Structure 1
Amino acid sequence: MITSIAHATIYVLNQDEALDFYKGKLGFEIGDDMKVEGGFRWLTVYPKSKPELQLVLAEPKEGPMFTKDSAQKIRSLIAEGAFGAGVFETDNCQETYEELVAKGVEFIQPPTKQLYGIEALATDNSGNWFSLVQR
């Protein structure tokens, strides 16, 4: 029986730059950062309040998961902003929005009242968009 989800993957264009964004701008903690055989890097981050849910910051590269062609296609889609990284929750969307803007996070929508709460939309430094939601 499955009891929880432990990891979710966000594909990024550069792991070092993504780590700087998720740690330096969003305030996430580093879970794992290790290189394994073949030059693959297992890099995870998590919000301080949820260490049990780790986000894998993965670069699509040719290897066991992707052909050279499919890795390039995914990288192109990331750069175009075709992927969402998910929904990050906050107790105060306006306050968190202002903090993140001051840190250089780019938003495509400021905090806006929605049926489910207040939501702002931002992008990470790879082009992935994410929602910032106050329920």
Structure 2
Amino acid sequence: MNTHPTLLESGIDAHPDSLDDEALEEKARSILDDYEEGLLAAWRERFGTLRAQGLATDSLDDVAVAAANAAIDELLFDMDSSAEGTIDDRGRVERATAPGAESTVLVDEIAARVLRTGGTVRAARHDEMVEGSPVAATLRFPLEQMAT
């Protein structure tokens, strides 16, 4: 019996000694993948509801403005996104045509700003993103309330 708060409902229904390392890893990864998939599906559902209320966006430009204004509650970002550019103090994005010393990976900069303001950040694979955007965010308050 285990009452640890992060114990998952699903488990491996075999004694660990009865499985080789590969089989044990495969079963564990399958359980974790299913768990993460469920979390992401719930997040997407919440995102859709909040977007209908003006409290979520998947526009990179809007997410950058929201991050600059400490307005992001939760950020989902494409961990493989490599688009570079700069983001000023107001959140205005200037995309770089090529990587350089003055630019940074845009989603990394946005994620750092969200973390600095107490928001939650979650990395996802490209095919798990909302409508193909490299970012999606739920907001603490509507974009219209932000100074641009």
Greater length-normalized contact order (CA 8 Å, ≥ 6 residues apart): 2
Which structure shows the bigger proportion of residues in strand conformation?
A: 1
Which structure shows the bigger proportion of residues in helix conformation?
A: 2
Same fold (TM over 0.5): no
Bin the TM-score by the shorter chain.
under 0.3
TM-score by length of 2: 0.25
